[in-house]
């Protein structure tokens, strides 16, 4: 159901579209045109604000209610938490 997909983003260098669904991040290579699950956060915070890294095959995103940022490779590996401290 296409109405469940949000915040589409495009990476020209990767020729890939990224988007969120409730609690999940997907990517779709424009050649293959098949969506692939990159990250699932079911049962936890909703996701928001996804962006592709400019020179790496990674996605940066945030979670609703969290003060951290998160980074993940577009193949779903290498999840990192990036703490943000506001003073």
Residues 6+ apart with CB under 8 A from 19: 5, 6, 7, 8, 9, 25, 26, 28, 50
| For range 14-38, the mean pLDDT | 91
pLDDT tens digits, 49-62:
899 999 999 999 99
Q: Quick check: 77 pLDDT over 70?
A: yes
| The predicted structure's pLDDT at residue 12 | 93
Q: Token pair of 22, please?
A: 């409730």
State residue 24 phi and psi, 5-degree precision: -140, 155
E strand spans, 6-68: 6-11, 16-21, 24-29, 35-40, 47-52, 58-63
pLDDT tier for residue 36 given thresholds of 50, 70 and 90: very high
Smallest CA-to-CA distance from 73 within 1, 23, 25, 30 is with 25
pTM over 0.95: no
| The predicted structure's pLDDT at residue 44 | 79
């Amino acid at each position: 159901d296409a109405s469940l997909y949000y915040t589409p983003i495009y990476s020209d260098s990767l020729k890939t579209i990224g988007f969120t669904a409730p609690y999940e991040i997907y990517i779709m290579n424009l050649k293959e045109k098949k969506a692939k699950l990159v990250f699932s956060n079911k049962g936890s915070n909703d996701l928001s604000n996804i962006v592709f890294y400019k020179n790496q095959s990674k996605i940066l995103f945030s979670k609703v209610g969290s003060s951290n940022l998160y980074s993940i490779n577009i193949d779903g590996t290498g999840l990192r938490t990036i703490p943000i401290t506001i003073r």
